[in-house]
Amino acid sequence: MMSRLSISVLVSASIACSMLFASCGTSRSSNATVYKTTPAGTGSRPDKKTFDIPSSLAPQSHALLTEAKRWIGTPYRYGGEDRNGVDCSGLVLNVYRSALQLKLPRNSAAQADYCKPLSKAMLMPGDLIFFDTAGGGGKKISHVGIYVGDGMMIHSSSSKGVIVSDINADYFKRTFAGAGYVEKYRNMIASNTPEPKPAPAAQQTSKNTAPKAVGTRNEAAVEEPFTLSPVTSLPSRKVTPAVTGTPKANEPTPEEARKKVLNTLIEQKLDSIFNR
């Protein structure tokens, strides 16, 4: 049979192992329950030690992700809040405080209550994503990460420290408990979006309106709009009578011409009689 000393050694070793693999808990107190957050399954993408920050993000989002990126590689330490070691909620607390001067609650469950809930499909870079790693059916928040975009989050893993992981990995899909956003952070982003200003009067004219022609008479002028009226009658045609002039002085009158022709015929007839 085992002696009392052997039993004590086994109990001590068991407690030490539990502390070694502990992760983010629900509070900082020494009586808090802590849970392991190391993924038990393999996801579609492996963990990474970096991520891209799009230049199109709002200044607050860019500052938040830049600060989070500086923590990559920091070892995990339950209750830690500095570069010597940090837990999941301590990472979120420090990133928001350093980048945006926003103070969040210290533990992951309180951070979940502090956030406004939203669906996973509506996550924006800088929002928080929560997990129930204690097997409570999604009712007991015990881990938190910061969404960085492209289906990835930065968080402090109990086995790997601050790392970038796929939120759709098997383990995180199974333990997903909700997502939320910090209202003050979203308000900062909204304040950067300028309201649309009305266009100047010159720009509000229709694109189809042609500009007025400016220049000399030789330049093409813009035709004015016109309407067609039905024709009810045709204009009468003016006939100008031909002008009759007086006969020229050298031309004989018709009567004189007739007499001249008769005289010529008579003379010819007489000549023909006398010349037989």
Answer yes or no: are the C-beta atoms of 101 and 67 closer than 8 Å. no
Q: Which of 17, 24, 62, 143 is catalytic?
A: 143
The catalytically annotated residue of 17, 24, 115, 155 is: 155
Q: Are 173 and 133 in contact (CB under 8 A)?
A: no
Structure tokens, 252: 């004989």
Active site residue 62: no
**What does each C-alpha distance from 156 to 29, 54, 86, 229 come to in angstroms?**
19, 23, 7, 84
Token digits for 102?
Answer: 């926003």
Catalytic annotation, pick one of 17, 24, 62, 88 = 88
17 is catalytic: no
Q: Catalogue the active-site residues.
A: 88, 143, 155
